[in-house]
Structure 1
């Protein structure tokens, strides 16, 4: 049986080499932080490289949407309580399409989805100029919801995010500015409510049709 030879002292890296490698790694990390992470996450671009790579725009969108969502939440907390809005009526699905959808959903069900019955909703949202609104789904960790939304005209800013149960820090999944539609799969990273904040920055009313299907117990307007 052959054992690997133990390296000699001459083959081991010297203290100087280790120190140089550490300095190179530190400088590289700082460069990535300044040129990529800060512009993309916080719109801080001291070198101007982030603007050239269009990363600063991403950071500005995230900052703007976060400020708008927080301002709306603060205003909602100060406003007097009003009766909850009745959820929009869901059109009766075609029986054949519903049966086919149920079969397909059961083929790809996950453990988290198995704990929550599949549900389908179509929510119509109308926003006046500069108006914002937040709709969220109550979901279990790991649950998945297929979604699609589109505006009838114009565009909106949006932030798709989740709020863990217990009031922990929110998690942003996706953001956009001046968007007319989006679709995909929303996966809950924790038990709680997950959904969208929409803001109409245009000069005319915008109607959004939001379609959701998957493992959630309810959809409700938060603000």
Structure 2
């Protein structure tokens, strides 16, 4: 019967590994967590790596100063606790969904401005999508509104990016889609490909 041997680490090796783990953890905290979660970037690493753009608190109020009030609410993630969820959001899903379709659209986001692109969906309808810009990145809020009630909306994803791939199971009937904000000084075109159970908004 073979003898099982275990390598026993000496105290110096254990201390060395603990110190390495602490150094790596500190680097991640300073370069990623603090810039993305709290807008704190003492070394400028978050700005260089793009993590600071994920912070949507007070650090971004300067770039959002010229945005209308309604959009400022939207960029603060959802319509807020002060807006009650409409009773229609809890209606049951229909027995029959919309017919599946496929579309590709190009949406031009003017320099320094924002706009929305949405499709109409029934509750529990499926949507698979991908979008990409022709140049540069956009701020976006992927969200949905309850039918006939544009005061209440839910945000699903908020970030800065030049592309996104994903899917959505609509939580309620109503418009579902994206708000794009172009902070650059030139127009950006977004190509959106969609497949699912929806209707293009007229």
User: Considering the TM-score relative to the shorter chain, is it more than 0.5?
Assistant: yes
> Could you say if the C-alpha distance between residues 113 and 180 of structure 1 is closer, same or farther in structure 2, counting changes exceeding 3 Å?
farther
SS at match of 2:183: coil
Q: Are positions 1:172 and 2:155 aligned together?
A: yes
Distance (Å, rounded) in 2 between the aligned partners of 1:165 and 1:66:
28
User: Within 5 A, what are the aligned runs for 1:39-58?
Assistant: 52=34, 54-57=36-39, 58=54
Q: 1:150 to 1:116 in 2, by over 3 A?
A: same
Separation in structure 2 between the aligned mates of residue 71 and residue 140 of structure 1, nearest angstrom: 25
Deviations 1:170-207 (A, max 9, x none): 00000112x11001102211011110011111122211
Q: Distance in 1 between matches of 2:171 and 2:178?
A: 15
8 Å CA contact retained: 2:130, 2:166: yes
How many correspondences in the alignment? Answer: 135
Q: Aligned partners of 1:162, 1:66: CA distance in 2, in Å? A: 22
- Counterparts of 1:197-208 in structure 2 under 5 Å? 197-208=179-190
TM-score (norm. length: structure 2) = 0.56
1:219 is aligned to 2:196: no
The residue number in structure 1 matching 2:56 is 60
Residue pairs, 1:153-168, within 5 angstroms: 153-167=135-149
Asked if residue 116 in structure 1 is aligned to residue 112 in structure 2, the reply is no
Q: CA deviation at 1:126?
A: 1.4
Gaps of 5+ in 1: 1-49, 75-110
Gaps of 5+ in 2: 1-31, 40-53, 74-92
Q: Secondary structure at the match of 2:136?
A: coil
SS of equivalent to 1:182: strand
Deviation at 1:55, TM superposition (A): 1.4
Q: CA RMSD in A?
A: 3.4
Structure number with larger C-alpha Rg: 1
TM-score by length of structure 1 reads 0.52
How many Å apart are 1:169 and its aligned residue?
1.6
Alpha-carbon separation, structure 2, partners of 1:113 and 1:153: 42
1:166 to partner: Cα distance: 3.5
Q: Partner of 2:47 in structure 1?
A: none
Residue 71 of structure 1: how far off its partner (Å): 4.0
| Structure with a larger share of its residues in helix | 1
Aligned to 2:165: 183
Equivalence map 1:84-123=2 (5 Å): 114-123=96-105
Alignment counterpart, residue 134 of structure 1, candidates 116, 128, 134: 116
